[in-house]
């Protein structure tokens, strides 16, 4: 019998519950939980979520249709959480690839019990099957009686420190940028996101500890932990793809990045970012693409752009973004919107399908979950999703950790600068011990 439960607790108690369940996931797939954490007050902050006790699952193949995803999400009660890969987005856009991929094209899960945290009221709300709910409530009560120390969650665990193998090392990456510039001048695309994959063997790596330490040191709006077979997805994205609340639609594309060095004035660097014609062009092109992507499922004349070229700080980086909003048509649901716009234009370039085809030619690796989306669907008009950048995948069986980073290329891009920007974005995983 489904039931619900609400209580006022400190945020750190909710986070400690999430951490405890994440730790258990590494020990037993039938225990633990999938988790979405977020930073209060951030422009792209989302509602933290815990999904505990495994229920139905939908593992995507090339034959999985958006209609099947809709039936999974809306055909039974409860929230659905998981990922949709960039590679599935290629299929949606009619872009084929011969590259092998041994990872699901998407994976969504429902749960015996879920918990969410309302930052405004300090309330945790649980729902689900009575037995699973009872287990979560007892855990929460125990943690509340013995709250974690102020320096929670954990001391730093091992992460990649040296020797990652790059699919596009510096020389090859800069050559890829030059080829992209040639494609832009030829008229094939007018912006393109080029990425490289980092691969490192770390059999001693504790994925759960890695995730929790990154969260404690470098939090961001969309921190997701998801178990898929022997893999653990560790997503630390700062970027919202699409949110639907009732009729309100919001996308917050990021374009424009500068690294904030020690002692540097953030305000001055932000002015340099917003004053850059190149960064302006990057963001404006993608904002226009997102406007087009959501317009088909929004009320005519409702799509707006606000806070254009706003700046926030995350991962020792300054990032520029805009708010693109609209009003969802009464005859459409959140997944209509999601699949029309997927994958996000900030990780493809534009025109979208042409850019994706060129990306597949220039990148020797498959992106998989990277540049896809971590997706939480609570109802037909209740969804939030990230652009899955700053994302890693840990294989528990092989000890291989993979992560990716890239940059947006426009006609006045400099190959050396684009490589440096890519490395700055990978820094979170390359030097997880850094403050």
Q: Report the interhelical angle of 266-274 vs 277-295 (nearest 10°).
A: 70
How far is residue 199's CA from residue 401's CA, in Å, rounded to a whole number? 6
The pLDDT value given to residue 158: 53
Q: Strand ranges (DSSP E) for 121-274?
A: 123-129, 165-166, 191-201, 222-228, 231-237, 240-245, 248-251, 254-259
Number of domains in the chain: 2
Report yes or no on 311 lying in a domain.
yes
- Is-contact 256 283, C-beta < 8 A? yes
How far is residue 38's CA from residue 36's CA, in Å, rounded to a whole number? 7
The CA-based diameter of the chain, rounded to the nearest angstrom, is 65
Report yes or no on 353 lying in a domain.
no
- Is-contact 347 339, C-beta < 8 A? no
Are 148 and 258 in a shared domain?
no
Are 10 and 136 in a shared domain?
yes
How far is residue 326's CA from residue 291's CA, in Å, rounded to a whole number? 9
The pLDDT value given to residue 296: 92
Give the single-character DSSP code of 298: B
Are 85 and 159 in a shared domain?
yes
How far is residue 124's CA from residue 144's CA, in Å, rounded to a whole number? 12
Within its chain, how far is the Cα of 396 from the centroid? 21
The pLDDT value given to residue 48: 97
The pLDDT value given to residue 147: 79
Pair of tokens at residue 9: 């607790």
The reported pTM is 0.94
The pLDDT value given to residue 262: 76
Are 283 and 157 in a shared domain?
no
- Is-contact 239 253, C-beta < 8 A? yes
Report the chain's terminal Cα–Cα distance, integer Å.
47
How far is residue 276's CA from residue 287's CA, in Å, rounded to a whole number? 16
| Owning domain of residue 79 | 3-166+198-247+366-404
Are 372 and 288 in a shared domain?
no
Closest CA to 325 of 253, 247, 242, 249: 249
The pLDDT value given to residue 7: 93
Residues 6+ apart with CB under 8 A from 277: 412
Are 158 and 271 in a shared domain?
no
Phi, psi for residue 88 in degrees, rounded to 5 = -65, -35
- Is-contact 148 183, C-beta < 8 A? no
The pLDDT value given to residue 63: 95
- Is-contact 181 390, C-beta < 8 A? no
Report yes or no on 415 lying in a domain.
no
Are 121 and 18 in a shared domain?
yes
The length of the chain is 435
CATH of the domain at 124: 3.60.120.10
pLDDT truncated to tens, each residue of the chain (435 aa)? 668 889 999 999 999 999 999 988 866 556 789 999 999 989 999 999 999 998 999 999 999 999 999 999 999 999 999 999 999 999 999 999 999 888 999 999 999 999 999 999 999 999 999 988 999 999 999 999 987 765 555 555 554 555 789 999 999 999 999 999 999 999 999 999 999 999 998 888 889 989 998 998 889 999 999 999 999 999 999 999 999 999 999 999 999 888 888 777 888 889 999 999 989 999 999 999 999 999 999 999 999 999 999 999 988 889 999 999 999 999 999 999 999 999 999 999 999 999 999 999 999 999 999 999 999 999 999 999 999 999 999 999 999 999 999 999 999 999 999 999 999 999 889 877 666
Report yes or no on 349 lying in a domain.
no
Residue with token string 């933290």: 48
Are 124 and 109 in a shared domain?
yes
The pLDDT value given to residue 428: 87
């Amino acid at each position: 019998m489904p039931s619900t439960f609400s209580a006022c607790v400190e945020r750190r108690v909710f986070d400690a519950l999430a951490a405890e369940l994440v730790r258990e996931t590494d020990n037993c797939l039938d225990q633990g939980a999938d988790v979405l954490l977020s930073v209060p007050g951030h422009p792209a902050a989302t509602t933290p979520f815990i999904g505990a006790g495994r229920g139905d699952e939908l593992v995507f193949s090339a034959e999985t249709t958006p209609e099947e995803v809709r039936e999974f999400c809306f055909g039974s009660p409860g929230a659905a959480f998981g990922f949709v890969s960039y590679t599935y987005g290629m299929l949606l856009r009619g872009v084929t690839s011969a590259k092998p991929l041994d990872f699901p094209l998407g994976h969504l899960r429902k749960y015996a019990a879920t918990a969410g945290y309302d930052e405004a009221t300090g309330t945790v709300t649980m729902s689900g099957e009575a037995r699973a709910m009872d287990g979560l409530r007892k855990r929460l009560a125990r943690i509340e009686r013995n709250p974690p120390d102020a320096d929670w969650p954990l001391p730093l665990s091992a992460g990649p420190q040296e020797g990652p193998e790059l699919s596009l090392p510096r020389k090859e990456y800069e050559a890829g940028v030059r080829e992209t510039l040639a494609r832009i001048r030829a008229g094939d695309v007018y912006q393109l996101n080029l990425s490289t994959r980092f691969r490192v063997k770390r059999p001693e790596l504790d994925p759960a500890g890695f995730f929790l330490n990154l969260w404690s040191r470098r939090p961001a709006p969309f921190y997701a932990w998801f178990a898929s077979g022997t893999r653990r997805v560790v997503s630390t994205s700062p970027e919202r793809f699409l949110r639907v609340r009732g009729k309100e639609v919001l996308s917050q594309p990021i374009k424009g990045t500068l690294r904030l060095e020690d002692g540097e004035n953030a305000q001055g660097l932000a002015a340099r970012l917003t004053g850059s014609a190149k960064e302006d062009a990057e963001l404006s092109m993608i904002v226009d693409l997102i406007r087009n992507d959501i317009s088909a499922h929004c009320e005519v004349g409702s799509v707006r752009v606000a806070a254009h070229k706003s700046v926030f700080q995350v991962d020792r980086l300054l990032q520029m973004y805009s708010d693109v909003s609209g009003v969802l048509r009464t005859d459409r649901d959140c997944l209509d919107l999601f699949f029309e716009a997927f994958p996000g234009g900030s990780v493809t370039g534009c025109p979208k399908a042409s850019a994706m085809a060129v990306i597949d030619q220039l990148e020797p690796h498959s992106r998989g979950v990277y540049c896809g989306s971590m997706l939480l669907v609570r109802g037909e008009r209740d969804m939030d999703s990230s652009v899955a950048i700053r994302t890693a995948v840990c294989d528990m069986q092989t000890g291989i950790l993979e992560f990716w980073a890239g940059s947006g290329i426009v006609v006045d891009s400099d190959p050396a600068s684009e490589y440096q920007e890519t490395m700055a974005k990978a820094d979170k995983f390359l030097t997880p011990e850094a403050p």
